Structure 1
């Protein structure tokens, strides 16, 4: 059950469980299901007033090499290629952690399908760096089947909704197969649009009550399934219950001090505490210390409660950290009044848009993965040519055909006043440059150079459209290159873009079981960390869509198994 502790008269005083799980995202709920199946008394606590964490707001995709769903799709994969691929990107990550993930992730997916009702398909979504050794052109990323939100009852409104960036018009859910033709205006896009709109607006009963869609896709479909699995097992999930400190006795973590409903309490955990509370991306102090090139928490697309409480509590008892300056980077656009930024996940690769720095120059392949473009915004920032902020530019042809963050391909009058307030518009590149404060002559030269590349179908500066991932979000009707088209038809538009993120990826150091290590490299007995609370098994890299959630869920399973005893199956 989901219990809302806000304003409760009763604190959780001296409560005793086997496993305490802090956080309620995909990794947390996976750990809860597995631990409960192994006979443990489990409690899940969540700091916020909604459950699901970053996972619920995400696309819900899982990056799992060599799963049974890969074979079901008629594709071939193997563990060694996957390990080779991750190692080519992940740098100094311990090889045994990489192998633990690759070997356990398919087992995790099969387990949750068989025991928790998850439904996933491997999809033809290319790895972000498919050209690397061991890379694949698709079928490692897995998409969840939609879920009928009515099955969740009142809990639907207590689950975080999908991020606005991942919904049509910021509120209408869609599947990947529906979104793809709509984004690129490819064959069948009108039918997809009609189906998506009809499904949403024909649910008259729900439209009267709430703008929330009951057709759950993406991370909502994943979290909804896991929540139903917890309900079936009687595992409580308590909201508005924040971790304050960890309790250590005789060198072992035995529970936690919490604040619930405004009152302090103690939860003792006989077998372990699993920290799954996300990263620290919304903590301005920690960003200022560690993410010095991106210090503004408002640039993050992470959900507001990700403030690093679990990370801080663990370091107070001697836990080691690593790569604290790392994040899942993404160029982001901030809309006034919204509680988080909107990452530009795919729009940058569509033909007819470019990103320029404060000198009016391009500095990266705009169609690369959001993590690579965000990383370039960090790496290329320099005096006189700053990239924080940058500007994304597009013309009227793009404006009429494609979305760009919160700017939908609709007449200006249909955009909200908040979106109109951040959208710059001019009849010439010269005038646009003056509006956004970049040197007009240099911006004009940049656009002319890019337009020449676009007409020839070859980006001679950054190779846009050369890689498989680039082309995945291109428009095949664009001509010689699906990612290139000139910016030629006025009016011209610009949006400010900041070096944002969808979560931090550095954190607590863990072993192959998700056990937290101290500063001397030894496990802290009774303490585990998974997801963005831990340092990612992917290092500073982002191998493919779903490479954040799949490790969180996999190490959630491994942590639960370790805490309950691998051979102690219920």
Structure 2
């Protein structure tokens, strides 16, 4: 139940309170501050960033300012066509219309008032290239690198990426830099880049626990954090909201556990929920996700749906249950030396490359291996209805592992024995022997690889069309022909790694209107309550149009929530200096 307000019982008084310090929540808090509201950002952990800090940091924003600077026009109409075909009736059209209209406005607003900047990811096609309106690039934007040293003592407040995704355990590189560094033996430019990045990293480690040159989602999270600090926005760490407080049907405050006490916080203009959904809550995964239910997630472990429950207790409703209620990565699982679980997402570094197949228990392929991570996992579930496909096995040969890597095994790893010994990697001298080790049909796997090797010669995958569209080819090996995604699997030893479905986020969230206001079961907005990010029901109805399709809407609706709350601001409320 929600608590009732008592006019003389407030311990703290703010205009807008935001719960959750991921990209969506920090955008809402930053816009709120710029709009002149006294703002409080509450983060239950001791660091900012949430899942954003572990992500690519890409935002998918059609008709964005960077496109227009390059003379790309007409994208708004094309994006509507694309999303209409992809999403259809699975989500309220007014929400995606609001997203398309406001996404560009959000970027322009941040550009005008802050130094939060992105650059166009030109060669990053939309994921569903077969649909009308799909673009071959331009809609995804990636954050500019950020110098973590500018945060001073607050650098430790930025959540680190997954350690397996950093070089030397602490050095970050972009996807483009990673590809360039692999050519260091044949390219002077690549060698110079490697020396420069490594020298910076070595210098950093003399003062910091990891590198301070931040890229991807870490750069986005850190830059938003820096702007919040610059504006003296109040941030409460290690604080958990236990109840929303209502007055005459309006959310006007909240009860927060902080420093061992319960603090009643007034929120004159409202509360924004940005807790990241429930990908890390096994009970909710069991209730809402498809069977067999995912047991792991690469998302921030604090994303357990607490903010969703706060809203439900205040009369909110969830959106309609979808096809799978999650946004997926296929991930391999292992145990680190310290006993913790490693969840390694297989995004684009191995699956789309030439010389790898994904097979089910029958030893048969079931998907275009270069498909988006989301569609790859959906194919796992479809195949599993008739043949065991969870886990699925990624199969290749030793040459592939040396050249491209495989999961957490980096390219040019000279010795594979440690990965074999801990059960992560399976190796055998023949295809049939490998099949027996990994529990798939030997004859089926042998036939699959023989057929795949024929495709590698012709350059045409007649079964699943691997490498037949711009998205596939963009993630393949451009130096390999005739198809950048098809290569032979012929040289022993043969290798395999198991992958399972893991939700990087959840698409089932709170029902909202086009202004990010949370609604009840009848569709009526609950005054003073907003949601963004994965606390908000998916604008895309659980579909995944392209890279950054979580963070783009998260930041856009965080912006809309703050702007909507600001429109109801009582300008007579005395503005006090925020504190950190």
- Relative to the length of structure 2, the TM-score reads 0.91
The match for 2:376 is 373
CA distance in 1, matches of 2:432, 2:420: 25
CA distance in 2, matches of 1:291, 1:170: 33
Pair 1:486–1:65, CA change in 2 (3 A): same
Deviation at 1:197, TM superposition (A): 5.1
The answer as to whether partners of 2:13 and 2:265 remain within 8 angstroms in 1 is yes
SS state at 2:476 partner: coil
The answer as to whether partners of 2:269 and 2:568 remain within 8 angstroms in 1 is no
Q: Which aligned pairs between 1:305-454 and structure 2 lie closer than 5 A?
A: 305-324=302-321, 325-337=324-336, 338-339=340-341, 341-346=343-348, 347-383=350-386, 385-413=387-415, 420-454=422-456
SS state at 1:471 partner: helix
The answer as to whether partners of 1:374 and 1:501 remain within 8 angstroms in 2 is no
The answer as to whether partners of 1:451 and 1:487 remain within 8 angstroms in 2 is yes
CA distance in 1, matches of 2:140, 2:273: 25
Pair 1:17–1:188, CA change in 2 (3 A): farther
SS state at 1:335 partner: strand
CA distance in 2, matches of 1:545, 1:266: 40
Q: Which aligned pairs between 1:142-181 and structure 2 lie closer than 5 A?
A: 142-164=141-163, 166-168=165-167, 171-181=170-180
Deviation at 1:402, TM superposition (A): 0.3
The match for 1:482 is 484
CA distance in 2, matches of 1:429, 1:513: 56
CA distance in 1, matches of 2:429, 2:187: 30
CA distance in 2, matches of 1:255, 1:459: 58
Pair 1:200–1:247, CA change in 2 (3 A): farther
The answer as to whether partners of 1:173 and 1:217 remain within 8 angstroms in 2 is yes
1:271-315: per-residue Cα shift (whole Å, max 9, x none)? 1000001010100100000113252342x1111101010112211
The match for 1:526 is 528
Pair 1:436–1:323, CA change in 2 (3 A): farther
SS state at 1:142 partner: strand
Q: For structure 2, list consecutive stretches of 5 or more residues without a partner in the other structure.
A: 1-8, 576-580
Pair 1:130–1:76, CA change in 2 (3 A): farther
The match for 1:462 is 464
Choose from 273, 276, 299 the match for 1:275.
273
Q: For structure 1, list consecutive stretches of 5 or more residues without a partner in the other structure.
A: 1-11
CA distance in 2, matches of 1:165, 1:417: 14
The match for 1:552 is 554
SS state at 2:251 partner: strand
Deviation at 1:196, TM superposition (A): 3.7
Single out whichever of 271-280 and 255-264 deviates more from structure 2. 255-264
Deviation at 1:348, TM superposition (A): 0.5
Deviation at 1:176, TM superposition (A): 3.6
CA distance in 1, matches of 2:447, 2:420: 31
The answer as to whether partners of 1:201 and 1:207 remain within 8 angstroms in 2 is no
- Is 1:287 matched up with 2:285? yes
1:78-104: per-residue Cα shift (whole Å, max 9, x none)? 311111111111132212111111111
Single out whichever of 246-255 and 332-341 deviates more from structure 2. 332-341
Deviation at 1:526, TM superposition (A): 0.8
Deviation at 1:265, TM superposition (A): 2.8
SS state at 1:345 partner: coil
The match for 2:232 is 234
Single out whichever of 198-207 and 344-353 deviates more from structure 2. 198-207
Q: Which aligned pairs between 1:209-248 and structure 2 lie closer than 5 A?
A: 209-248=207-246
Pair 1:423–1:211, CA change in 2 (3 A): farther
Single out whichever of 435-444 and 552-561 deviates more from structure 2. 435-444
SS state at 1:272 partner: strand
The match for 1:4 is none
- Relative to the length of structure 1, the TM-score reads 0.92
Single out whichever of 152-161 and 480-489 deviates more from structure 2. 152-161
The answer as to whether partners of 2:360 and 2:388 remain within 8 angstroms in 1 is yes
Pair 1:271–1:28, CA change in 2 (3 A): same
1:23-58: per-residue Cα shift (whole Å, max 9, x none)? 001111111111111111111111122111111111
Deviation at 1:444, TM superposition (A): 1.2
The answer as to whether partners of 2:419 and 2:425 remain within 8 angstroms in 1 is no
Deviation at 1:158, TM superposition (A): 1.5
SS state at 1:255 partner: strand
Choose from 503, 506, 528 the match for 1:504.
506
Deviation at 1:167, TM superposition (A): 3.7
SS state at 1:516 partner: strand
CA distance in 2, matches of 1:482, 1:63: 25
Deviation at 1:399, TM superposition (A): 1.1
The match for 1:16 is 13
1:311-367: per-residue Cα shift (whole Å, max 9, x none)? 122112221112444111111111213455111110200001111112211100110
Pair 1:114–1:166, CA change in 2 (3 A): farther
